[in-house]
Amino acid sequence: MHWHLHQMEAHYHEPDGFRYSLNSFIRAVKEVPLKLHNDLTA
C-alpha cells in the first residue's frame, strides 16, 4: 500500500494517473484485511 501512496504523490498533477493510483490504493485497503482474515481463519 505504501507504493500506492508514492504513485499518488508522483501523479498528483495528472488527473488520470492520480485517479488510477487512488482507486488502486482504496482497493488494496479494502482487500488486505479480508485476505488477512481469510489466512488467519484457514
Full DSSP string of 1-42: -HHHHHHHHHTTT-HHHHHHHHHHHHHHHHHHHHHHHHHHH-
Q: Give the pLDDT confidence score for residue 24 in this predicted structure.
A: 94
Domain count, the chain: 1
Per the structure, the complete domain to which residue 27 belongs is given by 2-41
Quote the Cα angle for 25-31-34, to 5°: 155
Model pLDDT for residues 1-42, shown as the tens digit of each residue: 789 999 999 999 999 999 999 999 999 999 999 889 999 997
